């Protein structure tokens, strides 16, 4: 059972009680790389790094030691649409985590000498990423796929932009986007909910700021970018030992009524299990690759799926044919009730294992509450999965897995 509360300033709280001695807490902020414009590209990720470098009350050493010193773990991440700052610690130290979150979010000072050092760190992160073709290919695919849509922005930004970030730019971006109406506090742990609400009011309730309708935003609407998914088939010469390849295209948005069907379809096609159709057809039967997987990423006004494989240099054409054959089979051959039931049972089990981690659940419900203002329980998600029919799966396949709408990118 989830507990909800909204502070007077608009910050929302979601909580699930557990019997664990460890509490997991995080603050989700609805801002990511898609909110950036021009020279700002990469700034959301850079802020995620830099908020740990100093506040009005603490220097970087004191920030690092605040959670680490009691055996906890503090971290953060940035996506195209969200930023999350989170920590895991013994339940008795939950207030320590919440107080630090509020300090980082509302009182970061971005000392210039610390910012200059962090620029080198982020530039090295960019270099590291560019040296990993299995990761870099995803960003390049998305840049080509989304075109001028803000979702095309690389989360890390560019070296040039990073070098030009200033404390003033970081502060201005935070004040514009890190507003209470865009924040969700997510907690999973053994704590009294009313006490949690009091702690959040104590540390977050005094912060006012903009309310819904007043927040500045560069997020584009779907109507502005209705034709971003133009098809391409490109090869980039990287002199890699393997051919790294992506095949993908448009998929349901976060709010599309076909999202559940496509989620299950994607899991059947190339989910983490060894019996996924792609793993059996390309790896097990042919031995063409070590890794092959399918991913589905729904955004608020767009959706994307892609199939990744790293194959021998002489096998990329055959691997592509095998992938397209699997997509064609899902479009043309409806699942039997027995096949669908097996896929449903498998996915329900996978979701249960994922949610068995308190940290995973905290992050999952925080993101869901941020976007939907409600979170389905595991039982409710299972119900939706079990309600799917073979026709639902085939309909999603026929709409989104059509060969003429797919794009391909190869690193050779």
Q: What CATH number is attached to the domain comprising 122?
A: 3.30.830.10
> What's the confidence (pLDDT) of residue 313?
85
12 phi and psi, to 5 degrees? -100, 150
> What's the confidence (pLDDT) of residue 48?
96
CA distance 125 to 245: 23
**Is 344 among the domain residues?**
yes
Q: Which of 41, 48, 82, 361 is labelled catalytic?
A: 48
> What's the confidence (pLDDT) of residue 287?
86
At a CB cut-off of 8 Å and minimum separation 6, what does 230 contact?
147
> What's the confidence (pLDDT) of residue 226?
46
Average pLDDT, the chain: 92
131 phi and psi, to 5 degrees? -85, 0
**Is 217 among the domain residues?**
no
| Residues 126 and 236 both lie in one domain | no
> What's the confidence (pLDDT) of residue 225?
43
**Is 60 among the domain residues?**
yes
Count of domains observed in the chain: 2
pLDDT, tens digit, 9 for 90 and up, residues 26-68: 999 999 999 999 999 999 999 999 999 999 999 999 999 999 9
| Residues 200 and 244 both lie in one domain | no
> What's the confidence (pLDDT) of residue 229?
56
pLDDT of residue 220 exceeding 60, the answer is no
- pTM (2 d.p.): 0.91
CB-count exposure of residue 327 (10 Å: 0-12, 13-18, 19+): buried
| Residues 165 and 267 both lie in one domain | no
Rg (CA), the chain: 22
The two tokens of residue 170 are 């970081």
pLDDT of residue 215 exceeding 80, the answer is no
Domain extent for 306: 229-411
pLDDT of residue 89 exceeding 60, the answer is yes
- Is 48 catalytic? The answer is yes
**Is 322 among the domain residues?**
yes
**Is 387 among the domain residues?**
yes
| Residues 165 and 293 both lie in one domain | no
Residue of higher predicted confidence among 206 and 76: 76
Please state, for a pLDDT cut of 90, what percent of the chain lies above it: 88
**Is 212 among the domain residues?**
no
């Amino acid at each position: 059972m989830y507990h909800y509360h909204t502070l007077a300033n608009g910050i929302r709280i979601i909580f699930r009680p557990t019997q664990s001695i460890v509490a997991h807490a995080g603050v989700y902020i609805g801002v990511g790389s898609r909110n950036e414009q021009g020279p700002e590209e990469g700034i959301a990720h850079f802020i995620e790094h830099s908020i740990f470098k100093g506040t009005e009350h603490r220097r970087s050493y004191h920030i690092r030691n605040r959670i680490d010193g009691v055996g906890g773990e503090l971290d953060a991440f940035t996506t195209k649409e969200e930023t999350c700052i989170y920590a895991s610690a013994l339940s008795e130290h939950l207030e320590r985590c919440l107080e630090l979150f509020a300090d980082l979010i509302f009182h970061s000072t971005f000392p210039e000498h610390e910012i200059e050092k962090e620029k080198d760190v982020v530039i090295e992160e960019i270099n590291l990423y560019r040296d990993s073709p299995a990761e870099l290919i995803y960003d390049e695919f998305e840049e080509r796929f989304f075109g001028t849509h803000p979702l095309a922005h690389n989360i890390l930004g560019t070296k040039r932009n990073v070098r030009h970030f200033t404390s003033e730019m970081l502060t201005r971006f935070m004040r514009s986007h890190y507003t209470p109406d865009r924040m969700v506090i997510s907690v999973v742990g053994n704590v009294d909910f009313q006490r949690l609400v009091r702690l959040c009011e104590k540390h977050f309730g005094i912060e006012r700021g903009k309310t819904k309708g007043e927040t500045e935003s560069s997020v584009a609407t779907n109507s502005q970018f209705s034709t971003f998914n133009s098809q391409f088939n490109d090869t980039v010469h990287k002199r890699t030992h393997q051919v790294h390849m992506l095949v993908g295209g448009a998929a349901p948005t976060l709010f599309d009524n076909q999202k559940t069907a496509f989620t299950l379809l994607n899991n059947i096609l190339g989910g983490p299990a060894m019996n996924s159709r792609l793993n059996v057809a390309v790896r097990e039967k042919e031995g063409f690759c070590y890794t092959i997987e399918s991913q589905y990423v729904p955004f608020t006004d767009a959706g994307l799926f892609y199939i990744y494989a790293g194959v021998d240099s002489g096998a990329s054409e055959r691997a592509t044919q095998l992938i397209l054959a699997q997509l064609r089979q899902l479009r043309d051959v409806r699942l039997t009730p027995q096949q669908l039931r097996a896929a449903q049972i498998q996915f329900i089990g996978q979701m249960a294992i994922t949610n068995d981690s308190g940290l995973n659940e905290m992050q999952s419900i925080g993101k869901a509450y941020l976007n939907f203002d409600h979170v389905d329980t595991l039982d409710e998600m299972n119900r939706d999965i079990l309600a799917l029919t073979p026709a639902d799966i085939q309909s999603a396949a026929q709409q989104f897995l059509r060969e003429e709408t797919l794009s391909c990118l190869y690193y050779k």
